[in-house]
Amino acid sequence: MRFLIITAAALSLFATTSNAQDAARLTLNIETGETTGTVNIAVFNNEPSYEGNAPVRVLRMDVAKGEHQAVIDGLSAGEYGIKVFHDVNDNGRMDTNPFGMPVEPYGFSNNAVGNMGPAKWDRARFDVSGDTAHTINLR
C-alpha cells in the first residue's frame, strides 16, 4: 500500500502557470503527534493526477525543527486534493507492516478516510480560490 512515495529529487516546489487575477494561496496546517522526521506533502489538481500519484506540487516540512505549516503561492483557482505522510524515521519512504499497511502517520485533504487504500478523490477534493487555509490531521 505504498500510495505515496516522494523521492528526494521530487521534493522541490514546482511552478505552475496562472494569471495574477486567479492566483491563489493555500496555507496547509499539518497536525501530527510526532516530533521527529519530515512531513511529505503532495498536491494534486485533478482526479487522474491524484489517482496516478502525479502531483503538481510537492513539499517537505521538517517537523524536528518545529515546522507544521506550509504556504503554497501561485495556484490556479480550482479543485485540489492532498496526500500527506509523516516520515518519522526520515528514511525517505512510508514504512509499512508485512501486510502493506502504513505504520507511519498519514492523511488526506478534508481528513478523508480511505477504504483498504488511500482516500478517493471525491472525498479528498476541495476548492481553492484566493487565500485558502486547510488543516490535515495525520493518523
Whether 102 is in a domain gets the answer yes
Give the residue numbers spanning the domain of 41.
14-137
* 118 domain-assigned: yes
6 within a domain of the structure (yes/no): no
In terms of average pLDDT, the best of 10-14, 19-23, 43-47 is 43-47
Domain count, the chain: 1
The CATH code of the domain that includes 85 is 2.60.40.10
Q: Which residue has the higher pLDDT, 95 or 115?
A: 95
60 occurs within a structural domain: yes
- The pLDDT score that the predictor gives to residue 20 is 52
Span 18-34, average pLDDT? 83
Tell me the average pLDDT across 19-41: 89
Question: Does residue 1 fall inside a structural domain?
Answer: no
Question: Do the domain assignments include residue 68?
Answer: yes
Q: Which amino acid is at 89?
A: N
- Asked whether residue 5 is assigned to any structural domain, the reply reads no
Q: What is the pLDDT of residue 8?
A: 29
Write the CB contacts of 116 (distance below 8 Å, at least 6 apart in sequence).
none
Q: Please give the C-alpha separations between residue 79 and each of 2, 43, 93, 108, 118, in angstroms, as whole numbers.
A: 24, 10, 27, 14, 18
Using left for φ > 0, alpha for ψ between -120 and 50, and beta otherwise, residue 45 falls in alpha
More confident of the two residues 10 and 128 = 128
pLDDT of residue 17 exceeding 80:
no
- Which pLDDT score, from 0 to 100, does residue 116 have? 87
Could you tell me if residue 54 is inside a domain? yes
Q: What confidence score (pLDDT) does residue 22 get? A: 66
* Residue 133 pLDDT exceeds 90: yes
Give pLDDT tens digits for 103-118.
999 999 999 999 989 9
